[in-house]
Structure 1
């Protein structure tokens, strides 16, 4: 929100300048504002404030483009020609004068907001052609200028100005869409970077395990290589997807657990229970980080009675993953690893306001619970 206000502060400045200009013009008698015509005054004020704001907003652009400056000078000449023509003919609310003035403002919008104008040029020009045609019909079709003034002048003038705030709102909507797309693109790029961090982090630990087995010339080493191959295939091909089947994610976790059971010669208590509906989809490689931490800080640090208990449940509204493990406390607390921080950031990007991650320690038991709602 702050960046949005900073980017478009020119429009706040434009409103302030318009207030000052209105007060000065009214003070010196150049204009006369009728307080009873509130809607007309509000529309006219918004129109001129928007014109001033756009000029300020695009000032640096105009300054750098000499060809644009010459075109602006051409529009200024058009204004003087219009004023001279109107003062010479002296026809109140001359339709030709209104056509020239409208041409000036359309040309100004084209110079200041070229991309916006090119995208909506048929809409903008079409709307003003219809309005000017209606104005010309009403103005020339009236029996007299007095009849025109008494019957329809205010309505017609208001109709001429109404499209301006509507087009301004459309332009702001375009800017909002653009900022949103930039933000989503940034989030997607960051998410892809986080995914690439998962793979090296996980496989670094697994290759260390494999290295220790090959040093010992263990017969379990080929099984580890096969398990690792299956997991790499899942990580590479499924991990790049936005969502995967929860069943496949469970199988991936089972492979990881089996790999560690092959590694450890000591008796370990790893229990993984799950009860799911069967058709759930979830972002890949979320639970593996919590499981990896439980093994790294639990099983690997304890010489006996180590356990890791995992429960994965799902219903129509949420998926719940709970994991607990015991560990040995040390005098120097360990710093949080990259894996947990990575998980938190991924959850913020993928499931904003749709997840809860709670972590607690009770004695020498570490417990983490992840809930994903509305999945």
Structure 2
């Protein structure tokens, strides 16, 4: 309803400007013979056109500003919606595992609950922010890895190499988790043995490089692009439109993803 009222106001203001300009123009035309002989008529005409120019420029500026504001609000709304979609099924899966662990291994279940609580808190409160410290995002990824290690009953080769030279680097939250989640979901989840996930994260003064590689079961590969990956690409387009590169390579049974973000 507010949008309709705003539209009506814009139409009324636009009509007012048009009518005012037409009326002034008609007055000048009708009384041209009379005013043409008066001293200062030329100055009056100059003043009139300057007034019209200023009025139209002011109106155009307001319209452009309104369009930009609405576009930014739409982008922010879409971004919040995309963030809310990040890894909800992971939490449901983890809760199901906790249900089975409560009677079998209560101590392990307690550890899982604490880590899961930290991750959920981060997703809810930090995930709504425009940016977070890279160090906070790293801790979130480490908690995710530890939860999966506790969850599986098989040996997984997980390596997370971190080389961060700028601890104050800020980044959009929940950015790398989709690539990490895909490595476990489509790789580790379906492999009975020899599963691995190797991660390299480097942060220089002007950019962040995130690379992740994992193996997967070829027989379980459906070659479809998941919702999570489309979500990531869209968020990158909204926040880092001309300052990111995302490449994904798949050869034999190896999946490799590289994401580079330039500092805004």
- Bin the TM-score by the shorter chain: 0.7 to 0.9
Match of residue 193 from structure 2? 304
Cα displacement (A) at 1:332: 6.3
Cα 1:341–1:96 change in 2 (3 A) is: same
Deviations 1:81-104 (A, max 9, x none): 524634xxx62x6425864x67xx
Task: Note if contact 1:359-1:366 (Cα within 8 Å) is conserved in structure 2.
Answer: yes
Cα displacement (A) at 1:202: 3.8
Q: 1: distance between equivalents of 2:218 and 2:258?
A: 21
The answer to whether 1:226 aligns with 2:114 is: yes
Match of residue 163 from structure 2? 275
Structure 2: 5+ residue runs without aligned partners?
1-10
TM-score by length of 2: 0.82
Match of residue 343 from structure 1? 232
> Paired residue for 2:125, among 226, 237, 240?
237
Please give the secondary structure, in 1, of the residue aligned with 2:86.
helix
Q: 2: distance between equivalents of 1:209 and 1:243?
A: 32
Please give the secondary structure, in 2, of the residue aligned with 1:308.
strand
Match of residue 288 from structure 1? 177
Match of residue 182 from structure 1? 70
Match of residue 16 from structure 1? none
Q: 2: distance between equivalents of 1:184 and 1:244?
A: 20
Cα displacement (A) at 1:164: 5.2
The answer to whether 1:264 aligns with 2:157 is: no
Please give the secondary structure, in 2, of the residue aligned with 1:274.
strand
Equivalenced residue count is 253
- State the superposition RMSD in angstroms: 3.2
Task: Note if contact 1:347-1:355 (Cα within 8 Å) is conserved in structure 2.
Answer: yes
Cα displacement (A) at 1:222: 1.6
Deviations 1:195-219 (A, max 9, x none): 1111524423433443453475564
Q: 1: distance between equivalents of 2:55 and 2:28?
A: 22
Match of residue 329 from structure 1? 218
Deviations 1:34-65 (A, max 9, x none): xxxxxxxxxxxxxxxxxxxxxxxx79x64xx9
Aligned pairs (5 A) from 1:120-269: 128=47, 161=49, 168-169=56-57, 171-198=59-86, 200-214=88-102, 219-269=107-157
Match of residue 320 from structure 1? 209
The structure with the largest helix share of the pair is 1
Q: 1: distance between equivalents of 2:252 and 2:224?
A: 19
Q: State the structure with more CA Rg.
A: 1
Structure with the bigger RCO (C-alpha within 8 Å, sep 6+) is 2
Match of residue 361 from structure 1? 250
Please give the secondary structure, in 1, of the residue aligned with 2:187.
helix
TM-score by length of 1: 0.59
Task: Note if contact 1:276-1:313 (Cα within 8 Å) is conserved in structure 2.
Answer: yes
The structure with the largest strand share of the pair is 2
